[in-house]
């Protein structure tokens, strides 16, 4: 079963570059719909009302089926499309980026504009939090104390984070396992504990690992 991680914007950010005295300010925001994207673009245009250009690009949908971009007065194809290309190349879903340009008095040429707008988007992405959303199930592992070390070793090898644990007469560990690896993890733990570990499998959920923590989406 394929469970391809989907890269999405978790927390928007901003970045700025300067090319020949022109300032390019990229601002990113997560979105789900075209209406949300257009509302954000309108806010940025209001915030940066004195800038010469507020170019934008956004993508949304499971397969990035919604794609829009605008050069906002820059020469055709030098801003919006190059910005959109960065989002598509990075394969990030559900986000909008506005790059605001304050003209510095020197023309950059078409190639220079393309590079500047793309560089600004990349700078904004660097200052944002991108996560990989996956489908998984909460797996509760119940075992005796003698098996804990082996189970924790297997989980570490599989790079699976423990969400919760309790220690009473038995040990209970709650872990989030990607859907396509669930069977393999259970088999490894069963083998490693000589069949003494017991499992409870929860409902399917979307999740992501953010700075070592499991986030349910």
What pLDDT is stored for residue 29 in this prediction?
Answer: 97
Tell me the pLDDT of the chain averaged across its residues: 93
One domain, residues 95 and 174: no
Confidence of residue 215 (pLDDT cuts 50, 70, 90): confident
**Sign, CA torsion 172/173/174/180:** negative
The per-residue pLDDT for range 44-83, each reduced to its tens digit, is 999 999 999 999 999 998 888 999 999 999 999 999 999 9
> Do 33 and 104 sit in the same domain of this protein?
yes
What residue numbers bound the domain in which 33 lies? 6-127
pLDDT score recorded for residue 2: 52
pLDDT tens digits, residue range 115-124?
Answer: 999 999 999 9
Q: What is the pLDDT of residues 5-46, one digit of tens each?
A: 889 999 999 999 999 999 999 999 999 999 999 999 999 999
Same domain, 113 and 140: no
Instruction: Give the pLDDT confidence score for residue 1 in this predicted structure.
Output: 43
**Per-residue pLDDT at 3:** 63
The total number of structural domains that make up the chain = 2
One domain, residues 139 and 116: no
Tens of pLDDT, residue by residue over 102-144, are 999 888 999 999 999 999 999 999 999 999 999 999 999 999 9
Q: H or E element: which one contains 34? A: helix 34-47
- Whole-structure pTM over 0.95, yes or no? no
**Do residues 125 and 88 lie in contact, with contact meaning Cβ atoms separated by under 8 Å?**
no
Among candidate residues 127, 152, 187, the one where a domain is terminated: 127
Give a yes or no: residue 1 inside a domain.
Answer: no
């Amino acid at each position: 079963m394929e469970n391809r991680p989907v890269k999405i914007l978790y927390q928007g950010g901003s970045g700025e570059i300067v090319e020949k005295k022109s300032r390019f300010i990229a601002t990113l925001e997560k979105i789900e719909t075209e209406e949300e994207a257009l509302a954000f673009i309108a806010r940025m245009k209001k915030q940066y009302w004195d800038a010469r250009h507020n170019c934008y690009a956004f993508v949304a949908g499971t397969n990035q089926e919604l794609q829009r971009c605008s050069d906002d007065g820059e020469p055709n194809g030098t801003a919006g499309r190059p910005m959109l290309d960065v989002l598509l190349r990075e394969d990030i879903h559900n986000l909008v980026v506005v790059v605001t340009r304050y003209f510095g008095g020197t023309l950059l040429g078409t190639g220079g504009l393309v590079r500047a707008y793309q560089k600004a988007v990349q700078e904004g992405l660097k200052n944002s939090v991108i996560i990989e959303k996956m489908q998984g199930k909460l797996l509760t592992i119940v075992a005796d104390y003698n098996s804990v070390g082996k189970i924790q070793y297997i989980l570490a090898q599989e790079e699976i984070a423990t969400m919760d644990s309790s220690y009473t007469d038995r040990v209970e560990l709650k872990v989030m396992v990607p859907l396509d690896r669930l069977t393999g993890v259970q088999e490894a733990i069963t083998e490693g504990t000589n069949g003494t570990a017991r499992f409870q499998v929860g409902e399917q959920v979307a999740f992501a690992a953010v700075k070592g923590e499991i986030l349910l989406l």
